[in-house]
A and B are shown apart, each in its own frame.
Chain A
Amino acid sequence: MNIMERVALTAEQEELRSSVRRLLGRWCPETEVRRLMETDTGFERDVHVRLAQEIGAVGLAVPERFGGAGASWREVAVVAEETGRALYGGPYLSSAVLSAGALLATEDEQACRDYLPALVKGEILASLAFVEPDRRWDAASTGTRAVWREGGYSLAGSKLYVIDGHTADLLLVTARIDDTTALFAVDRAAKGITTALQPTLDRTRKLAEIQFEDAPARLVGAPAHGVEAVSAAVRAGCAALVAEQVGGAQRLLEIGVDYANTREQFGRPIGSFQSIKHMCADMLAQVESARSLAHHASWAIAVDHPDAAAVVHAAKSLCSQTFLSVAATTIQIHGGIGFTWDHPAHLYYRRAKSDEVLFGTPAEHRTLLASLLGI
């Protein structure tokens, strides 16, 4: 991959970006975002199917032999950026990134053959469940146990913050076999599974709490590789999430600048006042920095770069800070009207806060980064 592919979009990626933007603009404008966020489901199934089938967005990082496009996490990030820009509430992160990523990382050919084709087509939805009541974003940390019973595994335990867990058909769940954390595939419709929607700050991101009580499960991949597989999936999830954050922040910058140019007080646009100009200039600088790191993160994951983990930590730290800061500044630029329910700024603000926490806060990522740097 040459330098251009590392830092800028190819012509094909730009086309992909436009297609997704058009599709979401048509099927998921702000009115739909607001309508759907009040529902339990949070999304329209057929919009997900459109993304999956009209654009092939769900299977971008999935190899062709499993029904995917055989592209890379870089292309997934292009889609993710547009979903972030549009505040899309559908199961892209959960199905296309975390679940597809976990299945592929286990290198379990049979499981991939069994689940990925339907996932790619949007026929089934899947969610990764790995966070426990101790609330750690650590793939290895699990109290959920798997025991062998009557010719199959049975899971007991509970998971929190399962993204789109309440609408998933397939759950990918971490559980301990003795002392080893392995990954299991669970049919959410089977016995022993209770799902409850968690009341989220960001209503455009649905999170579920799931209890397992003697729930039948299928082991995916070798038990010894479970932690690494989930870690890889979460890294890919972070790379997609930082792309979402850049998409959201860019949209906010546009909204803020547009307002500064239009709103007049004291006989002139408020954007002619230096304090407003400087806030906008700072947002631009932050967004371009975040964009640089987000691109680098999806590139590093796509090429399986040895430094990918460090890059992802750096990106998650900066992009989270940027999205939240830009959201707060955008509200500030709007003055009173930015504080209203009807203005979209608060929707992005909630999303920004939620994204900041998801998979670890900026400080948590910097702590992990510091270890990798040897300081």
Chain B
Amino acid sequence: MLRSTEDLGLPGESDERRQEVRQWLAEHPKPTGRQLAEAGYVAPHWPRPWGLDADPVHQLIIDDELRRARVTRPLNQIAIGWAGPTIIHAGTRQQKERYLLPMLTGEEIWCQMFSEPGAGSDLANLSTRAVRDGDGWRVSGQKVWTSGAQYSKFGILLARTNPDVPKHQGISYFICPVDAPGVVVRPFREMTGGSLFTEVFFDDVYLPADNLVGDEGDGWQLAKVTLSNERVSLSSGGALWGGGPTAYDLIEVVRSRGGTTDPLSRDRLAQLYVDAEALRLLRLRAVAASLSGEPPGPEASVRKLLADEHGQDIMNLARDLAGADALLDGAGPLGDKSQDWHFGWLFAPALTIGGGTAQVQRNILAERILGLPRGRDPHEGLGWSEAHGTGRSA
């Protein structure tokens, strides 16, 4: 009775777009990343020639057909979600020709060099400097929480090109090769014991003029660019930002072991199911709005807030269901051996921190959706240097 696929009422077998994908798959039975990219299937929502200008229905049809054929597309989240759309929006023809296709084929992986030790929630406060050097720039500073830099070819780098104007205005958007001289990537160990994240140090790194995207000072706006034709997809609702076990998986573990005799645990599981259903339906509402060309409603904004805490609830309950064995490494609910639960519990605190803390999310909901007054930033209107007491006196 727990279903994991939605009946979206997508066009059926005879639909031309479906037939087109099947035809292509028949001609390319085990497609490579390059083949998928050249066919426009890696990011179909992107404009041609890199994508298919696919509207939401078309995107979901492609997703459906590829899933049925068990074809996985190259994973390159930062590239496809962030760097690519920005280059499409504001890049030069040369930048588009150089960077877009290798993103889609998965040959060049990208990372996001945004956060710094002094600029987390207040990202605009970043201090990594890019100073003019002839036609190019010299970059010095440090980034942190850069996931995947160890295996990335390029990074989207936000750096300060003008310290004399207010903080948001003096930031520029660069493409930084991770192997450029002066770039040092240092993985660090996070709470889980793993090293998904890195620090990246920039010691006088030279970036040529071609590596600036858009104009100097456009960085903050460009960092927020998403395509007007957004990607629509169905997330499975995994606890860890869409990945990993779902509440339904936990319930299935319990169910397949004959249920639990503890009424409190049973109640918590039922509550978890209720929350999972509410989230699933919120996602469905967002997809439905996309499919009918409607603007996203408030349900889109509340989702991250709810999903992050829901992910923590899943992992906390899973650990509690391990009983006293929760004392041990690798504990899973009712003795389940999957390492996902152990890793997930240790990763869970990150959910309400990364990608925007839960506190900032609430501020955004309150201010942008409910129209409550914005908080006053004491640095507002001041030049960045001035605000930091390092500028010239008036």
Contact = CB atoms under 8 A, between A and B. Distances in A.
Interface of A: 1-4, 6-8, 257, 260-261, 268-269, 271-272, 274, 276-278, 280-282, 284-285, 288-290, 292-293, 295-296, 306-307, 310-311, 314, 317-318, 363, 366-367, 369-370, 372-375
Interface string B251-285: 10011000110010011011101110111011011
B287 A289 contact: no
Contacts of B329: none
A293 B365 contact: no
Contacts of A314: 273-274, 277
A3 B259 CA distance: 33
B288 A3 contact: yes
A318 B272 CA distance: 11
B274 A369 contact: yes
A8 B8 CA distance: 13
Interface stretch (B70-78, B114-122, B153-161, B370-378): B370-378
20 contacts: A1-B9, A2-B8, A2-B9, A271-B373, A278-B362, A281-B366, A282-B362, A284-B366, A285-B306, A285-B365, A288-B299, A289-B306, A292-B281, A292-B285, A311-B277, A317-B270, A366-B270, A370-B266, A370-B267, A373-B2
B363 A317 contact: no
Contacts of B7: 3
A3, A280, A285, A317 interface centre (most CB from chain B within 10 Å) = A285
Given A3-B9, A293-B274, A293-B277, A277 B366 contact: yes
A288 B283 CA distance: 11
A261 B266 CA distance: 41
A272 B372 CA distance: 7
B298 A288 contact: yes
A370 B270 contact: yes
Given A3-B9, A7-B288, A289-B278, A373 B251 contact: yes
A372 B288 contact: no
A65 to B, nearest CB: 29
Interface centre among B7, B271, B366 (most CB of A within 10 A): B366
A280 B369 CA distance: 10
B97 to A, nearest CB: 38
Contacts of A7: 281, 284-285, 288
Interface residues of B, number: 52
A190 to B, nearest CB: 43
A288 B362 contact: no
B230 interface: no
Given A8-B289, A292-B284, 5 more contacts: A6-B284, A261-B372, A274-B375, A278-B366, A317-B270
A4 B291 contact: yes
B6 interface: yes
A311 B2 CA distance: 11
A3 B8 contact: yes
Contacts of B1: 306-307, 310, 372-373
Interface string B335-354: 00000000000000000000
Contacts of B366: 271, 277-278, 280-281, 284
Contacts of A269: 372-373
A318 B274 contact: yes
B302 interface: yes
Interface in B349-394: 359, 361-363, 365-367, 369-376
A317 B7 CA distance: 25
Contacts of B259: 374-375
B68 to A, nearest CB: 19
Given A3-B284, A7-B281, A268-B373, A375 B251 contact: yes
Contact of B372 (A4, A271, A296, A366): A271
Contacts of B371: 257, 261
Contacts of A8: 285, 288-289, 292
B109 interface: no
Contacts of A292: 278, 281-282, 284-285, 299
